[in-house]
Amino acid sequence: MSLEIKVPEVGESITEVTIASWLKSDGDYVEQDEIIAELESDKATFELPAEKAGVLKIKVQDGETVDVGTVICEIDTSASGSSDKSEKKEEKKESKSSDESKSSESSEPEKTGEVKEMIVPAVGESITEVTISSWLKEEGDFVELDEIIAEVESDKATFELPAEANGILKIVAQEGDTLEIGATICKIEVMSGAPSSSGGDAKKETKSESASAGGDSSSSDSYAAGHASPAAAKILKEKGIDPGTVKGTGVDGRITKEDAENAQKSASKTESKSEEKEEQGSAPVAGSRNQRREKMSSLRKTISKRLVSVKNETAMLTTFNEVDMKPIMDLRSKYKEQFKEKHGVGLGFMSFFTKACCQALLEWPAVNAAIDGNEMVYNDYCDISIAVSSPKGLVVPVIRNAENLDFKGIESEVVRLAKKARDGKLSIEEMQGGTFTITNGGIFGSMLSTPIINAPQSAILGMHNIVERPVAINGQVEIRPVMYVALSYDHRIIDGKESVSFLVRVKELLEDPARLMLGV
């Protein structure tokens, strides 16, 4: 009897899926509930389990896109398993008898019969999906309660996933997979107690022997050494690179996705050189024409969606002005050494701009407001978002109640948040909220730009580089350090008068820093 397996319904708005990969081959014997394929939609990747045991007959090949409800394979439930099946049963029996022997000889942990299913936790109000960045433990490893077993990243931050019980790890979602909040990420076969140190050493030795089979057993310290993660293995396979030639920088020498991408680059350079040598003498080569493709990270995809959404859903305009930076620069030059000696942090431009914006926001509350449905939400506080460039992309941590902080407090927060951003240690709470954003493209040499609003906020201030320009001062031409500033705003909530007046007020406060101290 043949059982038809159809594409299941995976969500209200999902009408079609793509066969990402078959994990079993045509004609293979599969067990009931065994994962046989990976399917992906425009929102997530999910696994397809076998509904019955039998011989698999594939109807739809890898890479094909089909509608929900389409038959993609059949399982011949009347067919008997192959010799592999009987071998697996014998292995299971041997393993079981071995476990029983071990438990009688030592005080190893015992199975409780409970299986703990771990799901993707809720990590923030606006976060609906996460990506498995890396597994820190292997399939079948014994894990202890609260031990960190994986790193998971969202569009805003990377966070660690602790084990929710003692037991044997069964990995469900692979590295690189994107899952929705609440989806199953792994299972733990709960066990009482923990393995003895000798048992753990024996396990390590077994893994080391397995990893070095057919070679020198001393070539790797553990099973993970030289072993590619699923995401890394896929990249290496596509590029035809032998994992044995790649040095792993992950836990215990494991080859990570980044290692695979770097190996791809070096391999491409080697191939390019050899190709150029072969072509020499036959045709002139103008230069390298290599290409490489990289999958967009979860962070980059979310940033893309949000930027397009802001452009399409807001009435965004930008107004400009210029600031004579000489008063601030003179003040910094005079007191920066004393400031750093007393407070332990440098005196930068960001504290001046933050203080000026806070004062102007309290005077023009619409610039500090947001639209929520049919209502306008006004804030009596200033949570200033600071745009920071990190290795994984642009992040925007928040300085809470900046209106109550002095220069030392603002500079300390800027340094703290910027360091955590570069190290990838920002928490979700540190990036949520924010009523107004400041971004500084000037550090990269930008003269002028139109920054995009950081939704759901209604305005963003763009700083730029400082350039000496001729300026008319009291009828005389003088050379002054000038910065152009830009305010992008949502015209649905902020009128022209408010936006221009806000930017003029910021200009006044910056060109006369004494006003920042006196609040006038």
Q: Which residues are catalytic?
A: 491, 495
CB burial readout 23-54, b (16+ within 10 A) else e: ebeeebbbeeeeebbbbbbeebbbbbebbebb
Q: Please return the burial class of 323, using the count of CB atoms within 10 Å of its CB with bins 0-12, 13-18 and 19+.
A: buried
Q: How far is CA 486 from CA 213, 228, 372, 387, in A?
A: 63, 47, 25, 15
Angstrom distance (rounded) from CA 338 to CA 346: 10
- Cα–Cα distance, 407 to 517 (Å, whole number): 10
What secondary structure does DSSP assign to 18-83, as a single string? EEEEESS-TT-EE-TT-EEEEEE-SS-EEEEE-SSSEEEEE-S-TT-EEETT-EEEEEETTSPP-H
Report H helices in 344-452. 349-363, 407-422
φ/ψ of 241, rounded to 5, equals -105, 130
Going by their DSSP bridges, the two strands 167-171 and 370-372 should be labelled as: unpaired
Dihedral over alpha carbons 45, 50, 56, 59 (to 10 degrees)? -50
Q: For residues 486 and 484, what is the distance between their CA atoms, to the nearest angstrom?
A: 7
